Amino acid sequence: MSDAVEYKNCSKSECEVAKSGACAEGHQPLESCRFYGKASERDDSFDDDFQNASEEGDLDSGEGDFIDLPSGETLDMAKVDEFLRWRPIRLITIVGERDSGKTTLICSIYDQFLRGPFASYRFAGSRTLIGLDRRHYYSRADSGLSSPDTPRTSLADGIRFFHFAVIREDEQNARTDLMLSDRAGEKYRQSRNKTDVVSELVEVSKADKLVLLLDGARLANPAERANAFNSVRQTLRAFLDGGALARDTHVQVVTTKIDRIEIQPESEKEEIYRFLGDFKERLFENFKDRVTKLSFFEIAARDPDRKLPLAFGLDQLFTSWVDEIVQPTPTTGIHKFSLQSEFDMLLVRTPMEVVL
Amino acid sequence: MSDRLYHAIIGLPESGKTTFLAALWHLIEAGEVTTQLALDRLDGDREYLNKIADCWRRCEKVPRTSGAGETDVSIWVHEPATGRQAKLGFPDLAGESFERQVATRKCRKTYIDDFDGNGGVMLFLTADRPQDGATLLDMAPMWEGEESQSDEMKEWTPSCIPQQVQLVELLQFLQRPPFRRVCRRLAVIISAWDVIAEPRPSPEVWLNRELPLLHQFLLSNGASFNFRVYGVSAQGGNLGEAKGTLLKKTPSERVECVGDGVQPHDLTAPIHWLMEGG
């Protein structure tokens, strides 16, 4: 790196990117870090305040003659809960190691809708268009990059959600609202090692579909293969053992970057798919009594060699999120709750007509 | 008043609003062709309007409205058969305030007030604009064999957002508070319609092909937007090659407006359709 390069400040006090050129969050390129180039903590808090103030029912008057409008950025859990008070959602929790393709998968869905209807669904809106575009930009020609990239999700971002509202092409009114989660892979790695981290993963316990990403690029590498399988198996086990996963959550194991397997010589490719087949069988056997539904998908969101079509296999996965109705497991009896306070007892004393 | 409607005009910079206004002003003032609406009066800068209409009549490029000279213009029109009146408001001919809305996530209170009534919306976009939003993988076949471009990453800014995404955002704003939630008539005006190669598709087919996200959004949000798509060539052709031919025509007959049941030169047809919904 030339001495002439000047790095910008970071609003995080512990990050020394301005001096060293290295982002404390590990972002590369540096501009993909949301804290990079911000002069002070104050700038960042303004950003958050702006976002917080701009969602449904929370619109404040701006300065003087101006009114704040919704931010269009990704949503946090509180905003998703707020949204839920307005409309039902399908919560799709996407879990994977760092660089397994979580954000790329989401960007690819956005990319497909920019081109037209996708998987027989039409785009009906998004609360997070700006968040989507901000990430999709690094795959576009005007980004100045020579090959597509996706900014890494920072550990400091916590859990964020991307929103897509869609309607089947052959219907007029049956709108489905999907919330797709995005969290740094490091957090999921931690959750495999520490049970108490699992309980922090609110997106897992609330998931309608739990998508576990199996990194195809790592499967193509014999030295990484076993660890890639292990990561998925252990993550599922940790979520189940930690009591985070509801019994009726559908678990989907999605092998990403299948293009990295497809470019291998025929004999190696066969071997990888044999390993993958064995892994699926064992996973099914090991967890069939603990998971209501376990299914497998293979995708290549963005094959850089263009041997596979764009968003290969993603249509089936997307359709499964929207089409399949998630039926809650019937409860075996009425949940009994105790009435203890005087306020609770008021409920018992009040005559009520119950309509069933 | 229920028989006085305010129709708002939305459009990003250089989407054809000023040229449309220049041609419309001439059309309804000169009475050279049959139109569905007649002029009542004008609110705003008449000098500016006459200046752009002069340019338009001379087949000169109508000067783009600059942000500094932001001009609010309103034209009052009425439907001769029924006497119904409507006000057509061009709150920002430059279009920069719309771009700013997407970038800064703020708008003026007066903009929100404009959408309080039962009027419709004219959404401008232009056919004479290079396609944006192409991905590196889309471009790869064209770059094959060339030296790979060096990594000189440009930071994302709101100006990088593709046109169709910005337009969807502008419409999504209207669906949520503080805007009044109501089903609005929306006339999508594709300006510079003459640049589209023959055989020309219908305006809606073109919209579906060129701005598919916007088209999907409109199809999916029938409860918020009852839309029609119009192709408009307010100049009537290319001001370079076709200028001589255009100058020989009666000015109002240069205008081309394409849409369902529209007379070929009647620029007031989209406004008339908006009025029917009020």
The predicted-structure confidence for B206-223, as pLDDT tens digits, reads as follows 999 999 999 999 999 999
| Contact between chains at B221 and A125 (C-beta distance less than 8 A) | yes
CB B111 within 8 A of CB B260: no
Residue among B111, B213, B225 with most chain A CBs within 10 A, to mutate: B213
Find the mean pLDDT for residues A232-256: 94
Residue among A34, A134, A143, A303 with most chain B CBs within 10 A, to mutate: A143
Give chain B positions within 8 Å (CB) of A143.
Answer: 136, 153-154, 156, 160
Within chain A, what is the greatest distance between any pair of CA atoms?
80
Query: Which two structure tokens, joined as six digits, stand for A59?
Result: 């619109």
Within chain B, what is the greatest distance between any pair of CA atoms?
66
- Rg of the Cα atoms in chain A: 23
* Pick from B109, B133, B137: CB nearest A65: B109
Whether chain A has a CB inside 8 Å of the CB on B222: the answer is: yes
Give chain A positions within 8 Å (CB) of B164.
Answer: 114
Distance from the A266 Cα atom to the nearest Cα atom in chain B, whole angstroms: 26
pLDDT at B238: 77
Comparing B236 with A302, the larger pLDDT belongs to A302
pLDDT at A328: 52
- B28-45 confidence digits (pLDDT tens): 888 888 888 988 888 777
- A176-221 confidence digits (pLDDT tens): 999 999 999 999 999 998 888 999 999 999 999 999 999 999 999 9
| Mean pLDDT lowest among A66-75, A204-213, A242-251, A330-339 | A330-339
pLDDT at B1: 39
Residue among B101, B102, B165 with most chain A CBs within 10 A, to mutate: B165
CB atoms within 10 A of CB A127: 26
| Contact between chains at A70 and B112 (C-beta distance less than 8 A) | no
Q: How confident is the model at residue A338 (pLDDT cuts 50, 70, 90)?
A: low
pLDDT at B7: 87
pLDDT at A47: 31
Distance from the B4 Cα atom to the nearest Cα atom in chain A, whole angstroms: 26
Rounded to the nearest 10 degrees, the angle between the axes of helix A185-193 and helix A222-241 is 70
Whether chain A has a CB inside 8 Å of the CB on B154: the answer is: yes
Please state, for a pLDDT cut of 90, what percent of chain A lies above it.
Answer: 61
3-state secondary structure of A338: coil
Comparing A142 with A34, the larger pLDDT belongs to A142
CB B239 within 8 A of CB B246: yes
| Contact between chains at A50 and B105 (C-beta distance less than 8 A) | yes
pLDDT above 90: residue A330: no
pLDDT at B142: 75
pLDDT above 70: residue B59: yes
pLDDT at A132: 97
Whether chain A has a CB inside 8 Å of the CB on B180: the answer is: no
| Contact between chains at B107 and A113 (C-beta distance less than 8 A) | no
Give chain B positions within 8 Å (CB) of A302.
Answer: 137
- B67-92 confidence digits (pLDDT tens): 544 566 788 889 888 888 888 877 66
pLDDT at A137: 95
Q: How confident is the model at residue A340 (pLDDT cuts 50, 70, 90)?
A: low
Find the mean pLDDT for residues A250-271: 96
Nearest to B194 by CA among B256, B125, B240: B256
pLDDT at A25: 55
Residue among A114, A120, A177 with most chain B CBs within 10 A, to mutate: A114
Residue of B nearest to A306 (CA): B137
| Mean pLDDT lowest among A13-17, A196-200, A314-318, B247-251 | A13-17
- The per-residue b/e assignment along B195-234, b for 16 or more CB within 10 angstroms, e otherwise, is ebeeeeeebbebbbebbbbbbbbbbbbeebbbbbbbbbbb
Mean pLDDT, chain B, whole residue set: 86
Single-letter amino acid code for the residue at A92: I
pLDDT above 50: residue A274: yes
Helix locations, B175-220, DSSP H? 203-210, 212-220
What is the rounded distance in angstroms from the CA atom of residue A292 to the CA atom of residue A303?
32
Give chain A positions within 8 Å (CB) of B155.
Answer: 31, 37
Q: CA angle A13-A14-A19, nearest 5°?
A: 90
CB A288 within 8 A of CB A240: no
| Contact between chains at B151 and A144 (C-beta distance less than 8 A) | yes
3-state secondary structure of A232: helix
Element (H, E) at A236: helix A222-241
Residue of B nearest to A175 (CA): B220
3-state secondary structure of B32: coil
pLDDT at A89: 96
Q: How confident is the model at residue B278 (pLDDT cuts 50, 70, 90)?
A: low
pLDDT at A50: 31
pLDDT at B66: 59
pLDDT at A259: 96
Query: Which two structure tokens, joined as six digits, stand for A77?
Result: 């859990």
* Pick from A37, A130, A141: CB nearest B136: A141
Nearest to B105 by CA among A226, A58, A228: A58
10 Å CB burial of residue B29 (0-12, 13-18, 19+) is middle
Comparing A57 with B182, the larger pLDDT belongs to B182
pLDDT at B248: 84
pLDDT above 50: residue B194: yes
Residue of B nearest to A112 (CA): B213
Helix locations, A242-341, DSSP H? 258-262, 266-287, 314-323
Find the mean pLDDT for residues A297-313: 93
pLDDT at A57: 40
Nearest to A276 by CA among A226, A332, A350, A204: A226
Residue of A nearest to B221 (CA): A124
CB atoms within 10 A of CB A305: 12
DSSP conformation letters of A19-34: HHS--TT--SSGGGST
* CA-CA-CA-CA torsion sign (B51, B52, B56, B58): positive
| Contact between chains at A70 and B176 (C-beta distance less than 8 A) | yes
- A24-61 confidence digits (pLDDT tens): 555 555 655 555 665 433 332 223 333 333 344 444 45
* Pick from A72, A113, A148: CB nearest B216: A113
Find the mean pLDDT for residues B104-132: 89
pLDDT at A11: 60
pLDDT at A306: 86
What ipTM did this prediction achieve? 0.91
Distance from the B101 Cα atom to the nearest Cα atom in chain A, whole angstroms: 8
Give chain A positions within 8 Å (CB) of B176.
Answer: 56, 70
A vs B: CB pairs below 8 A: 141
Q: How confident is the model at residue A152 (pLDDT cuts 50, 70, 90)?
A: confident
pLDDT above 70: residue A63: no
Single-letter amino acid code for the residue at A195: T
Rounded to the nearest 10 degrees, the angle between the axes of helix A222-241 and helix A266-287 is 10
* Pick from A111, A113, A146: CB nearest B135: A111
Give chain A positions within 8 Å (CB) of B213.
Answer: 113-114, 123
- Which 3-62 residues of chain B touch chain A by CB within 8 A? none
Nearest to B271 by CA among B26, B62, B5, B2: B5
Residue of B nearest to A51 (CA): B105
pLDDT above 80: residue B180: yes
pLDDT at A335: 45
3-state secondary structure of A348: helix
pLDDT at B52: 86
| Contact between chains at A148 and B168 (C-beta distance less than 8 A) | no
pLDDT at A64: 63
Q: What is the dihedral of CA B63, B65, B67, B68, to 10 degrees?
A: 70
